[in-house]
Every structure is written in structure tokens, then in C-alpha cells.
Structure 1
């Protein structure tokens, strides 16, 4: 019997009837094999489900976060998660429309498996009455006999259906290897093994995986006579239709070594007004009433960016920690003169400087001039523009106004002995890292 946070027993019928409604309201459900049958299946009792992550990089990104949050919703409502990290499928790679994947060394993929398992484990509960379980498909494919695989699995896959998949049709003209062409067999085999071993009857993933997911459903129908279920989450986009989760500097990762908590917080803080409520429903666990109130505030006073602040705070605290969220908020405040830069730790300040693409300035003797720093950081377009900004009272070093056009940096201006932040006006900010020769 599931219990809520107070320890009271939950009426599972009422809860399970609400699961799909919550997923749909939060924008976490794009497709399902049979929604009515899935709802009935969820009503019938706790369901074991799985979601898979291939280790094609050392970290998951915010697109994967959508799947992790679906797993949280399902587990919170009494269902049992199997969190699969693909030690074998990661060696192959799902086919991409843009061309053949580069195969990574086995040792590299093995290290990525461990890294991603650590990330995944933070989002579901491995204790309690419906604990999550971590699984690795290398456990059942590593010693797989090729002839048995072709006889027992391959015979259930009509080639004409495999050729009809969108990604395969796209790649046929320029060529696709048998390795990537056959990826769908491996992912389907995962569903069969998890069904047989753990009684798993629901798989979900991104909508770009829908062909692979439904192939697993069909395999189980053909091989075991089983009726199992699948659902897919939508691809999140920005208002212009482009993919959400990319910045000028690249992918937004969950690993703080690849995307700092400050940069992560800033990414969500810059969400568009037109999409921020959609993102809140997906990425925040706030109740419906709070999100609807934030939608009202955004409509009435978008300049206050209340929804963006709530989104950035919630996601950063969940993916990193409340302390990292607080540090990111403090860094942004200090950067724009609302608090002291000197109060930021070296680690936080370093991430801010990195996000600002700070140049390194060599200083063998005396420190560079303020005008030089303003120009080198891109805060002004030229030295003359830098002198003009100082003369007009709009130039700052570490939030202190500079009044002398000939001023140079001082030793005490180097935060943590290295960093300096410059600003023109209220919003144009840059930073530099000074290297002493």
C-alpha cells in the first residue's frame, strides 16, 4: 500500500486514474499505444515500467531530464521504475538522420555508464514499497549467441517495416550500416528481457524513439503473446520551433563540470515568455494552482519574470542542489551590482567568468588599464568607446564606478587573486582572468 509524505495510506485507484491526466497536463505525453488500455492497466495495480538511456556522452542533458521526471511522476503514484543504462546499445548507437555515429571505445562507454547511473540514481527512490532498480542491458547481451539472437529475435522483424522507419529512409540514399540498421532489434530485446525477468509492461521515451519503442511492443506480442504498453514524451521546442536545450556554446548538460550550476540557472532564467509556462509544467514539480498563478503573473507583468525565476530556481535545485541554486542567484545579483562580487566563492566566480567567455590577460609587469579590459572583454567596441564610457560615468570595475580614463587595475581589484568583472551601464557585463607572468 502506497503512502503519502505524511504516512497516510493512498487510495491507489484514485491516484492511478490521475497519473495520465497529470502527465498530459504537464505536457509529458505525446503518444501512447492505446491510452484507454494503458489507463485501465495502471488502474489494475502497480505497474513495472522502464526507461532507457544510452551512454553516448559522459553526461545526460536536459532532454533526458524530461524522461527522468516522467519516471518520478509514475513512481510517486505507486509504480516501479527500472532505470536502464545501455552498456550494450551505447556501444552501437541509435541511427541519426545526419549520418553514421562514431563508435566509442568500450572502456570509454563503460565509464560513461557508471557516470550516467550516478546521475539517474538521484531522480528516483531506490527504497520504500515501490523501489527503483538500476539495470544494464550489457548483462543480457554481453554473452549473447549470434545464431540464437537471429533465430529468436531477428525472425520477428520484417525487413520492409524496418526500411519504412523515418530515420532509415532518410539515411538510405547516403548509406546506413547494418550495425545502426539493427539497433531496433537490441532495444526491442531489452523490453522482452525486462518483461520476462521483472514483469515490465510499460516502456516510455522521447517521441524520436517511438519507432524503437513500438517495435518492442510488437516483439513481445509476436514472441510471447503479451500485450504490453508504451508512451512517448514530446520534443520540447522554443517559440520559433527550434529544439529546446541548446545554447550558443552547445548542449545544456546535467553534469556541473560540463554546464555549471550558474550557466544552468541562467539558461532557464532566459526562457521565453511565450514558452515559460510550458517549461514550468514539464520541469517544475509545483502544484497546478501555483503554476496557473505564475501564468497569470506572466500575462499581467511579464517584465517581473516571476515564472522564469521560479523555473530556474526549481530545476537548478532539483538537478544540482538548493545550495547551488542559491549560489547561482547570488552570482547573478553580484554580477549586476545588487550584491558584493567579493562574497562569491572562487568556484562560483570561476563558473561565472567561464560563462562570460572571459579572455585571459597576461600581466608581466603592471596590470592592464581599465580601458584595455573593457575593450578586450567586449564590453565596449573600442578603446575610445571605453574612455567615453568612463567619462560619462557608465563604466564599472567589480561594481565600483571608474572615473579616471587612465585608471589601471589594482591588485585589490583581482578577485581571488585573478578575476575582474567589468560593466558598462546596467546590463553589459564582461569578465577577464588576469595571468601574472
Structure 2
């Protein structure tokens, strides 16, 4: 049977490993328990987390058991990895609520029936720790000199690193030890920014239990220019449909740069690699077919086939003039808002979130990037009045990819 390590490597996930040959051999001959941790820093998971979920799905498909660790304890501290400033400290109530939201989302992707996966919360063992005992028993294994060489700390030393955050590495390492003791967990996975935390966890299990465990990191989801993917003008690309609608989610993937199609198809879908390579090799206008497939596949995974079909229809309605426009983003206003002198076009598109500021709006019009009902707008001082609506509706388009329907009631 094919080794899942080879699958993950072929699809470009694997970045660093503690023991590459041993890990490949282990995953090929034994069904293991492994874990990935998710700190509840927001009330929804985002697309960066989704890539980690995809990895768990690959592993489960090959018979391995995911341990989904929600960081109800570590979330009270905040991971300094990849940060230039300290994370906002959340209240206990926020952490608990976020953890509950996360658990509901994981159930959509991971099969927890018959112990095929395990869900745990590190608050179960971290919140009641005796600090003196913890520092004596666990802290003695950590060299401050070595910790300060870790990338997650080095970049913070110039601007300031709190002792609260300095504890994070010990807590995450202790998670690995606890999961080894409770479940026989043999591997920890994480984004490449977690490398320092992971290798310290591997070392702690060795020192405390005399056991060999393993760690593996994965490439972060980035564009061809090295920027983190999943950032929109409105913020992160969330998995919660209330925070990012299925249509907006679909449109994000439909509009990725040509150079990023291969990465997204490899890492965010389960399409065979032959099909991934065929689609990403398309050129010119043909590459849009690949983007449509990408957008549908990812939206289908996250929001289900029905929502993916709706988003696809809405996209076709805008890009090719056919299909159902029901799911195009829309905002309703009282008709009285547009009576008399009406509303300035720049003020309106700023209110709709199509531009970030007045200057952005003026610039968009100057560059010929705004149209209303397919008519290019050139007047930066244009007033939008009630009589300009067609049956109470007005379709506004920014550039080639952003659309918004305005309705008056």
C-alpha cells in the first residue's frame, strides 16, 4: 500500500522532519496516533488551519489516528511564533467559546466514530498544574540559552518578549509528553513556524520517558511571492460561513494568481496529482477553467456541494452573464437614503467594503476600475440617486473580480 509520507511529500506539504527515514518507515509499517494543535485565538478557524485539517484527512485515509488538540490552556497564553507583537490576551470565557466553535468545525472533516480520531483540550491538564512542581519537573529540561536561539523568540527580542509568552514553548512541549503518556502519541505535526516548539517537545518526551517520538512541519500556505495566502481586504478567509460567505470563499480561489494554481490544487484538494499537473499547466484563458475547478473543490470541501454549486452559479452570472445571481454579495438600504441629492459614489463603495478609504475610491475611479451596471464611472463626485436603480437594484463592479449588488427597499 502507498505510504502517506510519499503522498504528503509529492503534494509539497513536508518542510522539516526530525528523522525523515525513520518517519517514513514508521508511517509505512504502523498505524500511529499523531497530533496537531489549534489555539482558539478567534471564534472561527481560517484557511491556514484548513491546510492542517487536509493533512489530518490524508493521514486518516491511510489508517492513522488524528488527535485534534484544542488549546484551551495554551490559548490563555498565546503563541509568540511568527509574531512581531504580543497576541491579545483573551478572557477565559472567550477561549472556552472559541474552543467549542472549533470542535464543531472539526467534526465536518474528521471522522471521530469508533475512535478513528480523538478530540482533546489541553486545558484538561494545563489549567490545574502546580507551577512550582511544573518548573521543577519540566522546566529543568529546558536551556534558556537554547530557547533564545529559536526563531520564534529571536525576532521578538528586539521589540520585547514577555515572560508569559516565554512559557509557551514549555507548555506546548508538555502537551506532547501528556499525549504520549495518555494515548501513545508518536508524532506532532505543525506549520513550519512551530519547528522550535516541536523539537523541544520531542526532546522532552525522550528525557522524561526515554522514548523516541517524532516531529514534522509543513510549508505554510503562501503565494508565489511568499505572502501568506488567505488574506482578504476584509481580513482572514474564515471557514465559518457567517464570517466569510461561501460565495466570497469561492471567489477568493477563483481569483488566485495563475502562478498559485498548482500550489492550491496540490494542498487544498484531493484531486489526483496527474489532474493537478494537467490543470496547472493550462495557459492563457484556459487557466480560468483550472481556477473554477479549484474554487469548486475547495468550497465543496468546506461548505458542501450545495453551497459550492450556488457560489459557482453566482460567479458565472457575473463573469459570463448567465446563471443565478442570488448568492452575489448584496446590501439593502432604505430607499430614502438615495432620495434628494443621493449618496456620493466614493462614500457608497467605501461603505460596501469595495475600497478601504476615500483615497482608495478616488484612485479606483481615476484608474478606470469602477463600473455601475456595466457603465464605467469617470466622475469621482457622482451622486447615486434613487432613479439610477433598475427595479430597485444596482450592480457595482470594482476591477474585474469584485462585485456587489445594492438593493433599495
Q: How does 1:38-437 map to 2 (within 5 A)?
A: 38-96=23-81, 97-128=83-114, 131-296=116-281, 298-299=282-283, 301-336=284-319, 338-339=321-322, 343-345=324-326, 348-349=327-328, 352-353=329-330, 363=336, 376-377=348-349, 381=365, 395=375, 408-409=387-388, 413-414=391-392, 419-422=393-396, 427=400, 430-431=403-404, 433-434=406-407
CA distance in 2, matches of 1:365, 1:68: 46
User: RMSD over aligned Cα, in angstroms?
Assistant: 3.1
Question: Would the aligned equivalents of 1:421 and 1:430 in 2 still touch at CA under 8 Å?
Answer: yes
Would the alpha carbon gap of residues 430 and 100 (structure 1) be closer, same or farther in structure 2, given more than 3 Å must change? closer
In structure 2, what is the Cα distance between the partners aligned to 1:421 and 1:333? 15
Q: How far apart, CA to CA, are the structure 2 residues paired with 1:28 and 1:56?
A: 24
Over 3 Å counting, the alpha-carbon distance change for 1:160 and 1:368 in structure 2 is same
TM (normalized to structure 1)? 0.80
Cα distance in 2 between the residues matched to 1:29 and 1:44: 19
Say which one has the larger Rg.
1
1:367 positional shift: 8.6
- Tell me how far apart the structure 2 counterparts of residues 143 and 155 of structure 1 sit (CA, whole Å): 20
Q: For 2:256 and 2:36, how far apart are their aligned partners in 1?
A: 27
Per-residue deviation, residues 95-143 of structure 1 (Å, max 9, x unmatched): 1531222211110111000001111222211125x61111000111121
| Superposition deviation, residue 155 in structure 1 | 1.0
Q: Does the 8 A contact of 1:367 with 1:408 survive in 2?
A: no
The structure-2 alpha-carbon separation of the partners of 1:60 and 1:375, relative to structure 1 and needing over 3 Å to count, comes to closer
Structure 2: 5+ residue runs without aligned partners?
350-360, 377-384
Q: Secondary structure at the match of 1:275?
A: helix
The structure-2 alpha-carbon separation of the partners of 1:278 and 1:394, relative to structure 1 and needing over 3 Å to count, comes to: closer
Once the two structures are superposed, residues 205-259 of structure 1 have per-residue CA deviations (whole angstroms, 9 ceiling, x without a partner) of 0000010011100000111111001100012221222222212222111111111
Unaligned runs of 5+ in 1: 1-13, 397-405
Contact 1:361–1:432, Cα closer than 8 Å, also in 2:
no
Aligned residue in 1 for 2:382: none
Alpha-carbon spacing, 1:294–1:111, altered in 2? closer, same or farther (3 Å)? same
Q: Identify the residue that residue 19 of structure 1 maps to in structure 2.
A: 4
Q: TM-score by structure 2 length? A: 0.86
Number of aligned residue pairs = 387
SS state of the match for residue 190, structure 2?
strand
Q: Per-residue displacement from partner, 1:22-50 (whole Å, max 9, x unpaired)?
A: 00111111111011111121233210111
Task: Report the Cα distance in structure 2 between the residues aligned to 1:364 and 1:241, rounded to whole angstroms.
Answer: 43
